[in-house]
Amino acid sequence: MAELRKLPEVDASEAWARIAQDGALVLDVREPDEWDAGRIAGALHMPLGELAVRQAELPRDRPVVVVCRSGGRSAVATEALIGIGLAASNLEGGMKAWQQSGYDLDPPDGHVA
């Protein structure tokens, strides 16, 4: 039986630290309407369905924090990115957890759709 590998996950405070201190890229894999409602400032928008054809746009020299609304789609993306050799972590709880933790959204009056 194959051994299950634990997916690297970070909570909102660890994600914030990786962004602020380590220069991590935030990769937002939500759909355009979710992105438009509110996002993490400086994030790169790449809906999950586009990941396979756009993965070359991702930097290989810095960590990546992957986010979606609640953590499911971003877990799929994180696993795919690890598979191609990127240092990726899933934001546990997604944008919902980010907002509930009190971190800012862009735009300032944004919300998690």
68 labelled catalytic: yes
How many other β-carbons are positioned within 10 Å of the β-carbon of residue 37? Answer: 16
As a whole number of angstroms, the distance between CA 50 and CA 55 comes to 8
Considering 68, 75, 77, 86, which one is annotated as catalytic? 68
For the chain, the 3-state helix, strand and coil shares in percent, each to the nearest 5, are 40, 15, 45
Distance CA 43, CA 26 (A): 5
- Where do the DSSP E strands lie in the chain? 9-10, 25-28, 44-45, 64-67, 88-91
Catalytic residues: 68
